[in-house]
Chain A
Amino acid sequence: EVQLVESGGGLVQPGGSLRLSCAASGFTFSSYEMNWVRQAPGKGLEWVSYISSSGSTIYYADSVKGRFTISRDNAKNSLYLQMNSLRAEDTAVYYCARDALRSDYWGQGTLVTVSS
């Protein structure tokens, strides 16, 4: 069974940092592209970042470019999102999702709250 489990969310002050993790199981993680998608409370979905299966190709939304870093460890079947210089507008549920063209599996999400 394919599973994606996010962790690492929580309450952080503006300007602070958090590192989200996504643990993958039930499929060959190293064969799949991965994405992070977020959803602010009561709002729609926002694509955040993409990483290729090897990690060699990466893209970011303009809203997080220069502040967030996506990475993966294929040996550990894990995806990461390092979030620095956090702002109130980064408050959201963050989802990891398998594949880019057709995100067929999603995690349950982890809530990040940026507030003083």
Chain B
Amino acid sequence: DIQMTQSPSSVSASVGDRVTITCRASQGISSWLAWYQQKPGKAPKLLIYAASSLQSGVPSRFSSSGSGTDFTLTISSLQPEDFATYYCQQANSFPYTFGQGTKLEIK
């Protein structure tokens, strides 16, 4: 199985900050990576698919890059509604594993 490792596990930041979250796959997954945002008590929300494609309706301050084993999610200017937990998921091969999550908290 492919293991997905996110870092950091948690990060504190302020509104307006630029934040980067990384996701590393234990083996190459080409560009078969998605990023999700989850708020407490809510279902996950798709942000990015195919490593760098922004899902319709998602603000352009979210961006992602990478291929192979290393990926990054960047939020260019944090907004209050961005404080949440973020997950990467590989879709290269089953089982479609998630990273452990990165909790983005208000500083």
**Are A and B genuine complex partners?**
yes
Closest A residue to B48 by CB, please name it.
Answer: A102
Among the stretches A9-17, A19-27, A73-81, A105-113, the one at the interface with B is A105-113
Among the stretches B17-25, B30-38, B70-78, the one at the interface with A is B30-38
Interface size on A, residues (CB 8 A): 22
Docked CA distance A59–B98 (Å):
16
Shortest Cβ gap from A1 to chain B (Å): 14
Report the number of A-B residue pairs with Cβ-Cβ less than 8 Å: 57
Q: Are B38 and A45 in contact (CB under 8 A)?
A: yes
- Contacts A101-B49, A101-B50, A106-B44 given; does A44 touch B91 at CB 8 Å: no
Closest B residue to A65 by CB, please name it.
Answer: B95
Q: Which residues of A contact B45 (CB under 8 A)?
A: 106
Q: Are A45 and B95 in contact (CB under 8 A)?
A: no
Q: Are B89 and A47 in contact (CB under 8 A)?
A: yes
- In the complex, the 7 A-B pairs of residues with the closest C-beta atoms, listed nearest first: A102-B49, A106-B43, A59-B94, A44-B101, A47-B96, A45-B98, A101-B91
Instruction: Please give the residue numbers on chain A whose beta carbons come within 8 Å of chain B beta carbons, in ascending order.
Output: 35, 37, 44-47, 50, 59-62, 95, 97, 100-104, 106-109
